[in-house]
Amino acid sequence: MKALITGSTGFVGPYLKKELESHGYEVFGLDRNNPEKLESVFCGDICDVDFVESVVKQVMPDEIYHLAGFSSVKKSFDEPELTMKINVGGTKNLLEAVRKFCPESKVLIVSSADVYGKPNKIPINEYQDLVETSPYSISRIAQEKLIDEFKDLFIVVSRSFNHTGPGQPEIFVLPDFVKQVVEIEKGIKDSIIFTGNLDVVRDFSDVRDVVKAYYLLLQKGKKGEVYNVGSGKGYNLAELLNKIIDLSGIKIEVKQDPSKMRPIEIVELVADISKIVNDTRWEPDYSIDRTIEDLLNYWRLKI
């Protein structure tokens, strides 16, 4: 079996590659960057039609995991056109290439819980209304609608809630907290952590659980269906920050930084994961405590 991962050298890609290889897959990647100079990674732009077609034609994958995308809600307000170009245009390029060269391939499209906006009820199931709250969420909703144009293909959509783990860039909230704590531990910065809005609740999963979910969705998920991928648990950001500080064991002052605030903030996002559990028997293995400990150890080695 051959698998193609788009966005293969980002945060999630290497974890997914390892997961697929554990099941005997030959894994290829597509990304703008190839820092390790891997022969199995094709370097180029998902928005380049000719490049995408050439990769799909050459690899002829049995499964495609479409991770490539513009992933920052905050930055999407600064670059709305680029957000749409990558998340919608890039996805369409990929699906057109699949239809043209390997229409029997199974495709996983990774979307986001941000499509729910301010949810009607918690936990959120897959049947709640979709709400446009940012250029990022607009792009993800449009990306999902592409399924209607490609009903002949086997496509499954993952609405992924927050996930984290060792290697995630510090532009994301938990690595940002952890990096600042480790810098304070090492005497690099003063004992002050700067944060955005801590009065929100998010559903955090470990990336190692998430990639198992992605694999299972293409094995047991149903064609044309959308699945929430999350822990099913809500975590207050202030409580998680306190947990990180407690594990560090040092006294730290917390201050709010206006530049870290989002123009629009959704107060609570927690997944109802009964659909994916029922259809694939997937369940998370990693606790939030284990994930935070691994994040701290990662940044202690990195800094």
Q: What is the pTM of this model?
A: 0.96
pLDDT category of residue 262 using cuts at 50, 70 and 90: confident
Please give the residue that has the higher pLDDT: either 205 or 266: 205
Domain 173-200+234-270+288-302: CATH superfamily is UDP-galactose 4-epimerase, domain 1 (3.90.25.10)
Cα(283)–Cα(221) distance, integer angstroms: 14
| Residue-by-residue DSSP string for 265-294 | --SEE-B--HHHHHHH-------HHHHHHH
How many CA atoms are closer than 13 Å to the CA of 37, on its beta-carbon side? 0
| 122-176: pLDDT as tens digits | 999 999 999 999 999 999 999 999 999 999 999 999 999 999 999 999 989 999 9
Q: Specify the CATH architecture of the domain 2-164+206-231.
A: 3-Layer(aba) Sandwich (3.40)
Judged against a pLDDT cut of 80, whether residue 265 lies above it is answered with no
The answer to whether domain 2-164+206-231 and domain 173-200+234-270+288-302 are alike in fold is no
Distance CA 161, CA 145 (A): 19
Q: Could you state, in order of their start, the residue ranges of all structural domains in the chain?
A: 2-164+206-231, 173-200+234-270+288-302
- 154-163 pLDDT, tens per residue? 999 999 999 9
